[in-house]
Copies of this chain bind each other. A is one copy, B any other.
Amino acid sequence: MDHLSTTFSALSDPTRRAMLARLSKGETHVSELAKPFLKDMSLPAITKHLKVLESAGLITKTRDAQWRSCRINGTPLKEATDWIEQYRTFWEESLDRLGEYLKTIQAEKKTKGKKHGKKRNG
């Protein structure tokens, strides 16, 4: 699988995004990182999620005695955001269109207001 696909795929799971959210507040070892999720799933499940994040390059693990410390790595996120960025016009454009639309109905309201002798905001 290509790099970008791996990144987006890794980000497409809420558990993994929650893990990144936790790691954004600081480095931790697996069992501490696991705590909030152990109500919902087993430790092996967590190991798997971490492996997905790691092979996407979104985290790195360092051995610290019997603990594995996890740290977030932003590089793939930058690549993802750079890819999305090329489509920026498509959400700014629609905001523009929304602006146009609002102007249009505003104009219509004014016209109707005049017709019906009703007026709003000048």
Contact = CB atoms under 8 A, between A and B. Distances in A.
Contacts of A94: 73-75
A97 B109 CA distance: 55
B24 A86 contact: yes
Most buried by B among A78, A89, A92: A78
Interface stretch (A9-17, A30-38, A114-122): A9-17
A8 B89 CA distance: 19
Nearest to A71: B90
Interface in A57-73: 72-73
30 contacts: A2-B14, A4-B14, A4-B17, A6-B12, A8-B8, A8-B9, A8-B11, A9-B12, A12-B12, A17-B83, A20-B87, A24-B87, A72-B87, A72-B90, A74-B87, A74-B88, A74-B89, A74-B91, A74-B92, A75-B94, A77-B84, A77-B87, A77-B91, A78-B91, A80-B80, A80-B84, A81-B81, A81-B84, A81-B85, A84-B84
